[in-house]
A = this chain, B = another copy of it.
Amino acid sequence: MSIKIGILTASDRASAGVYEDISGKAVIDLLRDYLTSEWNSVYRVVPDDQQRLETELKNMIDQAGCCLVITTGGTGPAPRDVTPEATEAVCHKMLPGFGELMRSVSLQYVPTAILSRQTAGIRGKSLIVNLPGKPKSIKECLEAVFPAIPYCIDLIEGPYLECNPDFIKVFRPKR
């Protein structure tokens, strides 16, 4: 069974073709560095619409079998930012520590980090993690939380992710 990871960009403009989606591609590039396990991406760019985001998250997990879905964009306070709402709506369990850590890391760079509402949660045997939309912030945030992701996926009975210690130091406590 191959490992599938969803990358979901929430952006009105990128989904309308106004500009290229560099955020989702930045996530894919980071995951290529981090993971040595073979994996396939399920990649979608959708507008900032809660219903569309929920449908896509459910498809990626329930139909495509992604053990991990990483979203980018739509986490701010603007009226169209609804990615955390969509995430919470499809998750069975929330993991507030992801958002707390990402905000505290981003706060080292910009005081507006407190405006980010990103979160993470579990749907069935899959983990959903929200990242911000800006490529620079994507790297800062994913680097901060990724060390805990493979063990989280172990705990929810997903596939065993092998990683490249030259790029990311993941941690699995001895049980």
Contacts and interface: CB of A to CB of B under 8 A. Distances in A.
Contacts of A103: 96-97, 100-101
A101 B79 contact: no
B156 A78 contact: yes
A94 interface: yes
Interface stretch (A58-66, A108-116, A159-167): A108-116
A151 B145 CA distance: 26
Counted per complex, copies of this chain come to 3
A77 interface: yes
Contacts of A157: 79
Contact of A155 (B76, B100, B147, B155): B76
B78 A155 contact: yes
A149 B69 CA distance: 31
Contacts of A110: 171, 173
B101 A171 contact: no
A90 to B, nearest CB: 15
A95 B77 contact: yes
A170 B114 CA distance: 13
A22 B99 CA distance: 31
21 contacts: A77-B122, A79-B157, A93-B117, A95-B117, A96-B100, A96-B117, A97-B99, A97-B113, A97-B115, A97-B117, A100-B100, A100-B104, A100-B114, A101-B103, A101-B114, A111-B147, A112-B151, A112-B152, A112-B171, A112-B173, A114-B148
